[in-house]
Structure 1
Amino acid sequence: MKLLLKISIVSAAIFCLIAIRYWQEQLFYDPLLHFFEGEYLQAISLPELDALKLHIHVILRFWLNAALSILILVVLFPKKEIFRITLLLYGCLFLLLIIAFVTIIGMYDAQWSMLLFYVRRFLIQPILLLVLVPAFYYQKLLSKT
């Protein structure tokens, strides 16, 4: 793939990730956005929320971010093995985190605020991309030597 095309695709995908974050309130139902901006550590209960709608929007946001992240990784590291391991990592991470998220929401207690914050953060932000790019780059450098 030509360098200019690679740069264009990666730049467009990064722009989309930024746009998702910038317009998150308009695109997704998430009453926890304002909850975690306030005094959530002292909150006894979660704000009023539609749990099913919240779960659907968190899942949608995760897979939208994941698709863009996978696109970036495939363009930067165009090997089938990288693609397969990335899909496996995203799938396993999704299962683990969505089960934890649904459980925490369903059985919420004030002492679980920080756990909910971090589980939700991993679901709605492309954090895995920030880990995989340097990891795959390092692996690429090791394979050359």
Structure 2
Amino acid sequence: MLQKILNHKIRSVFAFFIVLLLIMIRAYEDVLFYDPFLNFFKMDYHNLEIPEINKLKLFFGILYRYFLNSFLSLAIIYVLFKDIEGLKFAAFLYFIFFIVLIVVFFLILFLLDEPNKMVLFYIRRFLIQPILLLLFLPAFYYQKGFN
């Protein structure tokens, strides 16, 4: 019993450390990633023109950030649930979500004459923030629970 409680504390500390890494990514986003939308969406963007964008740098900046967030999110899932099959499934879902979201993001951004800025905002939010982790944690807990 004591060993089980200690294991949960150790797993919780590891998970907390990984969450701190996710917070560090958010805190240093201006330095780590190319994203002209960081400041754009902090302003009253409804009345502004879309900023000048280097398409390739934007793609790789979003890819890099999505990879870091996904890797750390998967690490949290593994630390908390120790389920390799579930981890593989979550990684597959992260991959599928990235493909769908990045394609839609760039289609809206570059193929529409007047892109819907709210749709861009929310798609970009799913790409740059670990929102999927907030969906996966309750699902894993419901499916498996803590051991």
Say yes or no: TM over 0.5: yes
- Please tell me whether residue 55 in structure 1 is matched to residue 65 in structure 2: no
Following TM superposition, the consecutive aligned residue runs of length 4 or more in structure 1 with deviations greater than 6 angstroms are: none
Q: Gaps (5+ residues) in structure 2?
A: none
Give the drift of 1:98: 1.0
CA contact (8 A) 2:12 2:80 kept: no
CA RMSD of aligned residues (A): 1.8
Three-state SS of the structure 2 residue aligned to 1:5 is helix
What is the aligned partner in structure 2 of residue 133 from structure 1? 137
| Alpha-carbon distance in 2 for matches of 1:31, 1:84 | 33
What is the aligned partner in structure 1 of residue 30 from structure 2? 25
What is the aligned partner in structure 2 of residue 38 from structure 1? 43
TM-score, structure 2 normalization: 0.88
CA contact (8 A) 2:74 2:87 kept: yes
Give the drift of 1:11: 1.3
| Alpha-carbon distance in 2 for matches of 1:93, 1:132 | 13
> Can you list the C-alpha shifts for 1:47-87, whole angstroms capped at 9, x where unaligned?
11211111100010001000000000011111122112111
TM-score, structure 1 normalization: 0.89
What is the aligned partner in structure 2 of residue 88 from structure 1? 92
CA contact (8 A) 1:42 1:110 kept: no
Percent identical pairs in the alignment equals: 41
| Alpha-carbon distance in 1 for matches of 2:112, 2:31 | 26
Give the drift of 1:110: 3.6
Which structure would you say has the larger RCO, counting Cα contacts within 8 Å and 6 or more residues apart?
1
Selected match of 1:73 from 77, 82, 85: 77
> Can you list the C-alpha shifts for 1:20-46, whole angstroms capped at 9, x where unaligned?
001111111111011111121123x31
| Alpha-carbon distance in 1 for matches of 2:114, 2:46 | 7
Q: Gaps (5+ residues) in structure 1?
A: none
**1:21 is aligned with what amino acid?**
R
